[in-house]
Amino acid sequence: MSARTFAVLFFAGVITIMGSTREGLGADDGKAGLAKATFAGGCFWCTEAVYAELKGVKGVTSGYTNGKVPNPTYKDVCTGLTGHAEAIEIEYDPAVVSFEKLLEVFFATHDPTTLNRQGADVGTQYRSGVYYHDDEQKRIAEQVIAKLDAARVFPGKIVTEVVKAETFYPAEDYHQDYFARNPAQPYCRAVAAPKVEKVRKVFKDLIK
């Protein structure tokens, strides 16, 4: 069994054992019954593609979060000087998919142990992050990370930052649904497609 496969199986156990009195609903986005989750796990093309597959996910927006420059462009963020992370904002129905499940997929589909890097993508904009919308999301994320580290599921210590969600700026239109519209693009074929296939296989009960 590979380390990553074990991580997926262990994480599922962590979620089951943890339980919670609430679902980690996140901020109400104005749409009845929906909540928000914001994650950064490297290039947002990959992260968006993964979550677009899941039941209960009503929308996924690629963008830039937790930086210091208003209204950044992709070119700005790529410099690494704006402080933003490439991230996704998820609108989801917590009655269908819980925050815990979204986290399970998050940790199973990127490397949370590499600081400011995912594979060949290097820079602070590619950092791993959970940007919480309420105290319950914060509690759940911190508890899960502590358990994963204690069990040494990954070969290194998890460096995912868990900080309050700040202003999220949607990325340019051509970044939205990028994988779905450009499946033959070399980066999508090499990096995004394997992640999507993994989710379809490992989390098949969550697929739409």
Sign of the CA dihedral running 75, 175, 62, 189: negative
CB 45 within 8 A of CB 39: no
Six token digits for residue 101: 């499940």
Return the residue matching tokens 């868990």.
162
Q: Which helix (H) or strand (E) holds 181?
A: helix 178-181
What does DSSP assign to residue 191? I
Residues designated as active site: 43
The C-alpha atoms of residue 127 and residue 114 are separated, in whole angstroms, by 8
Cβ-in-10-Å burial (0-12, 13-18, 19+) of 147 comes to: middle
